[in-house]
Homo-oligomer: A and B are copies of this chain.
């Protein structure tokens, strides 16, 4: 099922570089890795075609946008089969930025970003716990995010 695309050293170095900064010019990488800019171009295109590179995005400082509160919430559903309908409703909430279907203590695990504790309280009580399928929740407030990086290709 999972045929992994073969990557050589050059591919991996290009990926690592672009994971740090997607705007590094091909010519710059070409110099660093002792190949031509066109070669870098070809490799990037190949990795895009293979679905390894899915796109690019900017990194925004969420605090400067006013989002001071980050937390994780473990959700227990009344019935495990309600997963899809619950997820659909969670997807409507802008504050839910990540969701995971998990084994273990919870059915669904979500990451929430809010502008304040008051907003968190509101989202939690009036939006999240208001969802029919939700039986109970457990909240984990993050005060700091000291590590945030990517896997090593």
Contact = CB atoms under 8 A, between A and B. Distances in A.
- A58, A62, A91, A151: most-surrounded residue (chain B CB, <10 A): A58
Nearest to A147: B99
A48 to B, nearest CB: 9
Contact of A101 (B21, B72, B90, B146): B146
A79 interface: no
Interface string A55-88: 1111111111111101010100000000000010
Stoichiometry, as copies per complex, reads 2
A59 B55 contact: yes
Given A4-B64, A64-B52, A144 B58 contact: no
Nearest to A110: B147
A98 B150 CA distance: 8
Top 3 A-B residue pairs of the complex, sorted by shortest distance between their CB atoms: A99-B147, A22-B56, A101-B144
